[in-house]
Amino acid sequence: MKEKTFNVRTTAREEIVIVTDEVHRALGEIGGGEGICTIVVPHTTCAIAVNENADPDVPADLTKALRALVPNVPFRHGEGNSDAHFLSMLIGCSLTWPYRNGKLILGTWQGIYFVELDGPRTRHVTVYVP
Ligand code: ZN
């Protein structure tokens, strides 16, 4: 298995950063070609997803909608970021996606979303290929 890790620096508590270009760069550095890759965020308060890459209002809207999903329950976790752990679990910390010629096979409007839920922080994203 080959892998490449890149960093994402976020600037807000909740933020969606489109990292499609960084994933393509990583795929190129570990050999390009074609297959199925796995993209992992090795963290518990962020997530990775696929959504629209064209209109910047979409990530902004989704960030607001995610916040609205957090239930009004008495969280006990002393770090105070159980809301971020909850949303990370719902969205997920990995994606498996096909690629060809070193590029993800995405729909016209799709891009890879790095979803920060407890920033600002420097995060890691790792792309694995067989
Ligand atoms: Zn925590």
Q: What is the pLDDT of residue 38?
A: 98
> Is pLDDT at 32 greater than 90 in this prediction?
no
Strand ranges (DSSP E) for the chain? Answer: 2-9, 15-18, 35-40, 46-52, 94-100, 103-104, 110-116, 122-129
| Distance of alpha carbon 98 from alpha carbon 110, whole angstroms | 13
37 C-alpha vs ligand 1 centroid, how far in Å?
Answer: 28
76 C-alpha vs ligand 1 centroid, how far in Å?
Answer: 10
Mean pLDDT of 74-96: 97
The pLDDT tens digits of the residues spanning 101-120 come to: 999 999 999 999 999 999 99
Mean pLDDT of 123-128: 98
> Is pLDDT at 15 greater than 90 in this prediction?
yes
Q: What is the domain range of residue 18?
A: 2-71+80-129
114 C-alpha vs ligand 1 centroid, how far in Å?
Answer: 18
CATH number of the domain that residue 112 is part of? 2.60.120.460
Q: Residue 70: which of 92, 52, 85 has the closest Cα?
A: 85
8 C-alpha vs ligand 1 centroid, how far in Å?
Answer: 19
Residue 82, phi then psi, degrees to nearest 5: -60, -30
Looking at the 3D structure of the chain, how many domains does it have? 1
What pTM was computed for the model? 0.96
Preceding peptide of 42 cis, ω within 30°: no
| Site of tokens 């971020």 | 84
Q: Enumerate helices (H) and strands (E) in the chain, giving the number of each.
A: 3, 8
- Residues with Cβ–ion distance below 5 A, ligand 1: 79, 81
